[in-house]
Amino acid sequence: MSGGLPPGRFFLPGPTEVDAEVLAAQVTAMYGHRTDACRAVLREVDEGLRPFFGTTRPVLIGTLSATGFMEAAVRSGTRASVLSVVNGAFSGRFAQIAERCGRSVERLDVPWGRAIDPEVLDRRLSRGGVDAVTVVHSETSTGALAPLAAIGEVVGRYPDVLLLVDSVTGVGATPVRAEDWGLDVVLTGSQKGLAMPPGLAFAAVSERLLERARDLPDRGYYLDLVRYVERADDAQTPTTPALTLLHAAREQAHRMRAETPDGRFARHRALADACASAVGRWRAGGMDVSVLAPVGERSPTVTCIELPPDRGGPEVVAGVRERGYVIGGGYGRLEQRTIRIGHMGDHSLEALAGVLEAVEAELHPGLRA
């Protein structure tokens, strides 16, 4: 249920549609958070999410939006010099956070819509002078998916370089293997690939990161990942968690377990493929549209579609809304040229077919009545 619309019509690339039962689970009487009852809820959320992070360690649970854990990753995981891979708005944000935290930041720019080539990253790291790399797994502003396993392998060749990953539109929808891939922080928010209400953030952190963090003088207090880990070992959070959101998260974690990680990953891949096929059909039919990210670099959760030159993003989004569906506009510098369909969380292929029909009708009114 979202924005007063019936289910299956809300395709914003975050927040995503939340199932009615998950929403209803938020209604709970208050109780103390330093209790076994709260420990039990936190433990269920943690354990339910571990397979989606590829970690055997506790998943950290924070009452903040994902950006809060991006800043925490910088403050607890970087010393002085950060290399930020920038291929869109959110990876640009990661660089900006590091700058505002006083780090010296070098941007490794990649064209918007493309993913970083791990060999390019390797060449830069081989010159030294970097203590951490920031990467966005699924760049929500462009629909590009980074080759995270290969990036992890490259960064793993440099023992003093930590890898900090924003997988806000990756976790829950596409494989993330924090331990196998050597991710020192991998974080997400509740309202994207996990299809929970906004307000919580989750992260897996490595032992290596904790060792470094303990020597960093300016980790702050609220964002200190060391405190999160110490509390998580006792199934607790450093400060009062958003209890109602935790109840929704627990309900959704159960639903995700029932679907299984592989089931979720396959469904998201099928949604992205259906979206790309539709754009291909429209193009074959003479419409000047294309998926921004090339084949092999496409996110399974968000498709960014380049519009014909005579159409503008905001106007198309408004037209699609008139037809009963919510989609995302282009983000940042892509606002006019593109639209984005967020197909993450619990969406079905049937619902996606509905929004695609609405977009097609809006872009090519002559084709359908």
How far is residue 203's CA from residue 171's CA, in Å, rounded to a whole number?
10
φ, ψ dihedrals at 202, nearest 5°? -130, 145
Provide the minimum distance between the beta carbon of 293 and ligand PLP in the complex, in angstroms, as a whole number: 14
Residues within window 177-196 making contact with ligand PLP, judged by CB under 6 A: 189, 192
Provide the minimum distance between the beta carbon of 116 and ligand PLP in the complex, in angstroms, as a whole number: 14
Q: Which of these segments, 77-85, 146-154, 163-171, 245-253, binds ligand PLP (CB under 6 A)?
A: 163-171
Torsion angle in degrees (nearest 10) through CA of 331, 332, 334, 339: 20
Whose tokens are 């993913």? That residue is 115
Q: Which residue in 66, 225, 253, 359 binds ligand PLP (CB under 6 A)? A: 66
Considering the complex, state which of residue 103 and residue 192 has its C-beta at the smaller distance from ligand PLP.
192
Is residue 228 a contact residue for ligand PLP (CB under 6 A)? no
Question: Do 164 and 135 contact (CB within 8 A), yes or no?
Answer: yes
Exposure pattern of 27-63 as b/e (b: 16+ CB <10 Å)?
eeeeeebeeeebeebbbbbbebbbbbbbbebbbbbbb
Provide the minimum distance between the beta carbon of 12 and ligand PLP in the complex, in angstroms, as a whole number: 10
How far is residue 256's CA from residue 264's CA, in Å, rounded to a whole number?
8
Is residue 67 a contact residue for ligand PLP (CB under 6 A)? yes
Provide the minimum distance between the beta carbon of 366 and ligand PLP in the complex, in angstroms, as a whole number: 35
Q: Which residue in 14, 152, 328, 329 binds ligand PLP (CB under 6 A)? A: 14
Question: Do 223 and 230 contact (CB within 8 A), yes or no?
Answer: no
Is residue 328 a contact residue for ligand PLP (CB under 6 A)? no
Provide the minimum distance between the beta carbon of 131 and ligand PLP in the complex, in angstroms, as a whole number: 22
Q: Which residue in 17, 19, 44, 166 binds ligand PLP (CB under 6 A)? A: 166
Q: Which residue in 63, 78, 87, 169 binds ligand PLP (CB under 6 A)? A: 169
Residues within window 142-161 making contact with ligand PLP, judged by CB under 6 A: none
**Per-residue tokens: 215:** 């020597």
**Per-residue tokens: 223:** 């964002």
Whose tokens are 């307000």? That residue is 199
Provide the minimum distance between the beta carbon of 347 and ligand PLP in the complex, in angstroms, as a whole number: 16
Considering the complex, state which of residue 65 and residue 96 has its C-beta at the smaller distance from ligand PLP.
65
Residues within window 70-109 making contact with ligand PLP, judged by CB under 6 A: 90
Closest CA to 151 of 115, 105, 109, 103: 115
Closest CA to 84 of 102, 75, 97: 97
Is residue 65 a contact residue for ligand PLP (CB under 6 A)? yes
Q: In the sheet that 290-291 helps form, which strands lie side by side, from edge to edge?
A: 10-11, 326-329, 338-342, 302-306, 290-291
Residues 17-56, mask of contacts with ligand PLP (x by CB under 6 A)? ----------------------------------------
How far is residue 276's CA from residue 4's CA, in Å, rounded to a whole number?
28
Provide the minimum distance between the beta carbon of 211 and ligand PLP in the complex, in angstroms, as a whole number: 26
Residues forming contacts to ligand PLP in the complex (CB under 6 A) are: 14, 65-67, 90, 136, 140, 166, 168-169, 189, 192
